Chain A
Amino acid sequence: MDFMNVVVCVKQIPDGDQSTYKLDPTSHNLVRDGKLILDDSDSYGVEMGLQLAEQAGGGEVTLVSMAPNSETSGLRTALAMGAARAILVSDAALAGSDALSTAKVLAAAIKRAGPDLVITATESSDGYTGTIPVQIAELLGMPSVTFSKKVTVNGDKVTVERQTEEGYDEVEVPLPAVISVTAGVVEPRYPSFKGIMAAKGKPVEELKVADLGLDAASVGAAGAGQEITSVVPAEARKAGEIVVDEGDAYQQIINYLEQLKVI
């Protein structure tokens, strides 16, 4: 392939982590009204996309994101890394979307870019259902490979080392395809100032649900097939037990393991 068109899905998420996220008490939705940033998990996909385009001897990375309030700061970070352009879907009608409606929107936006390869992260850092990649693939009618830890494009095929519990599977699928990559597959570059300046001038196309030819009733709260009925905090991890060796530590450990019924 002499020109490779890669789409990378990038989620823009609240700055912080699980412990700082706030949930809306009635909808149980994550509050996303502050500044959003590029999900770290997606920086691997962006880097992978850039490397594959370089290796193909030519190509471009197009970013696709769905986010509230016309948010672009996470996109700017990825554009500064070297992506060529971005498609942002932002529409009040999308509030309350579940994973499937998110996938419908992303799939429709991806289609416009006519990609040879679509890259996502394995799971996002804020929602982490890990369901979007395969849903997109199904909606686009493309093969998908998840948990990719090494990706090589050969002509019109992509070969993937797919992480498993024991090691990895080698999977080959025809292009176009959707792959989800694991953190650490590549070392994401830090944007240079030149990249940051160049990102200013790169096109970000902002679309509404209607621009994608989707029925507003099939997305957002209206289209959600899932309902979150309650959210409870995970039990805090208990402090570990410290065994001081006064000659009988081994016995204490054996007792402990026996009590756990693991020996």
Chain B
Amino acid sequence: MTIKDDPAIRAGVEAAHESFGLSAEHAELRSVVERFARNEVAPVIGELYEAGEFPYEIVAQMGRMGLFGLPFPEAYGGMGGDYLAFCLVLEELARVDSSVAITLEASVGLGAMPIFRFGTEDQRQEWLPRLCRGELLGAFGLTEPGGGSDAGATRTTARLEGGEWVINGTKSFITNSGTDITGLVTVTAVTGRGSGGRPDISAIIVPTGTPGMTVSKKYSKVGWSSSDTRELSFDDCRVPAANLLGQEGRGYAQFLRTLDEGRIAIAAMSVGLAQGCIDESLRYVGQREAFGHKISEYQVLQFKIADMEARTHTARLAYRDAAERLLAGAPFKRQAAIAKLVASDVAMVNAREATQIFGGYGFMNDTAVGRFYRDAKILEIGEGTSEVQRMLIARDLGLPART
């Protein structure tokens, strides 16, 4: 039974999820994607998730809806939307399933966005139209086996030789890097040493299938089971010099902006998952009986759900505020870090509480809350761990870096 079938509960969910403060167009987009997620994703995702299969058909549908082109100009095949629109979509998708949401988030935020922002006109024309249609997926490889939080410690190298970059090294946990429709991976690599021996990090576009790049088999993950995550290794992998993305030696600085935005997106996904926990819990407590009563009558459970709602509402305000700042051109680094820190925690707590409300069924892989439980943890790790978010907030408040 879906939420839609249960009128008493639907009213509560709808009210909780009002589009207050959104423009009519953002509100309409939100409700279209809500409908899409409920009708097209929810019925099929459980089985794909259990089998660890990538949701190709859903990705194709999202491509036709233009979701992969949402925040890009029409000139590149985009929809002319903004970053808030993108976040609203991620929230609604993650409310039903996080693997689907992260596939979109990574391709748009990490794959296409750097090309749009830092790419040459040729690079944009070459990649963006197909990425915007969802025919190709983009990936971004920063993390290495030796570390992700400390991007300055990158070991992968690239040297120019005969008009080509020759790349060597390994990247771990790279989302979207091994699907049948992966078009490119942008990798960060050390391309030289600056004054004081500090590494110059640059970003280089590596098209799928380039000789010298090996895509390993999928990791066995705790969650995000339908998302594609691989290790990539580069062994004298050669790409044209023109594949440099942005300025040489500026790779690190460029991606700080990308990561700041990405935090708002992950916060939106976290809010979606937290909301999904509320949707499911409301539905379940109205059906389940114990000791001769609907469990919805027990105040302990009502309070759990009330707290879930209060947390989710707060986290939603945090990510929307960060997104509004971004759109207004105001500084948003601290707010993005706060939104990600708070929202990922809310997702974790709600997933734990929803699982508790479901009792034994919550521990089963074929319930949505079981999936939410498994999917929540990575939100506190990916695109900057919670510790890194606190570090960013502290730095932004003027507290010193360790010397």
Residues of A within 8 A of B (CB): 15-17, 19-20, 76-77, 80, 189-194, 196-197, 200
Contacts and interface: CB of A to CB of B under 8 A. Distances in A.
Contact of B28 (A16, A19, A20, A76): A76
B331 interface: no
Contacts of A193: 25, 29, 66, 70, 79-81, 85
Interface in B65-94: 65-66, 70, 74, 79-81, 85
Given A189-B64, A193-B81, A194-B66, A19 B29 contact: no
B133 to A, nearest CB: 11
A192 B66 contact: yes
Contacts of A194: 66, 74, 79-80
Nearest to A195: B66
Contacts of A190: 32-33, 35-36, 61, 65
A20 B74 CA distance: 41
A15 B13 CA distance: 13
Interface string B1-40: 0001001001100100000000011001100110110000
Contact of A16 (B7, B64, B66, B79): B7
Contacts of A76: 24, 28
Contacts of A80: 28, 32
A10 to B, nearest CB: 16
A76 B85 CA distance: 18
A15 B24 CA distance: 17
Given A193-B70, A196-B32, A200-B25, 9 more contacts: A20-B7, A20-B10, A76-B28, A189-B65, A190-B33, A190-B36, A190-B61, A191-B32, A193-B80
Given A192-B65, A194-B74, A197-B80, A16 B10 contact: yes
A155 to B, nearest CB: 31
A197 B70 CA distance: 12
A19 B85 CA distance: 33
A183 to B, nearest CB: 13
Contacts of B66: 192-194
A138 B277 CA distance: 52
Contacts of A191: 28, 32, 65
A190 B34 CA distance: 11
Contacts of A77: 28, 32
Contacts of B33: 190
Contacts of A197: 25, 79-81
Contacts of B61: 190
Given A77-B28, A200-B25, A192 B10 contact: no
Main secondary structure of the interface of B (DSSP, over half): helix
A192 B68 CA distance: 11
Interface of B: 4, 7, 10-11, 14, 24-25, 28-29, 32-33, 35-36, 61, 64-66, 70, 74, 79-81, 85
A189 B40 CA distance: 12
8 A-B pairs with least C-beta separation? A192-B66, A193-B79, A20-B7, A193-B81, A194-B79, A19-B7, A190-B65, A196-B28
A22 to B, nearest CB: 11
Contacts of B36: 190
A17 B36 CA distance: 18
A80 B30 CA distance: 13
Contacts of B32: 77, 80, 190-191, 196
Nearest to A80: B28
A37 to B, nearest CB: 9
A80 B70 CA distance: 15
A262 B44 CA distance: 38
A242 B132 CA distance: 52
A200 B33 CA distance: 18
A67 to B, nearest CB: 17
Nearest to B14: A15
Contacts of B65: 189-192
A16 B29 CA distance: 19
A19 B11 CA distance: 12
A193 B35 CA distance: 14
Contacts of B74: 194
B83 to A, nearest CB: 12
B348 to A, nearest CB: 31
A189 B63 CA distance: 12
A20 B6 CA distance: 10
B36 to A, nearest CB: 5
Contacts of A17: 4, 7
A193 B32 CA distance: 9
A235 B35 CA distance: 30
Contacts of B70: 193
Contacts of B35: 190
27 contacts: A15-B14, A16-B10, A19-B7, A20-B7, A20-B10, A76-B24, A76-B28, A77-B32, A80-B28, A80-B32, A189-B64, A190-B32, A190-B61, A190-B65, A191-B28, A191-B32, A192-B65, A192-B79, A193-B29, A193-B66, A193-B80, A193-B81, A193-B85, A196-B25, A196-B32, A197-B81, A200-B24
Contacts of B24: 76, 200
A189 B36 CA distance: 10
Nearest to B40: A190
Contacts of B79: 192-194, 197
Nearest to A192: B66
B335 to A, nearest CB: 24
A196 B29 contact: yes
A76 B24 CA distance: 10
Nearest to B89: A193
Interface centre among A17, A76, A80, A194 (most CB of B within 10 A): A194
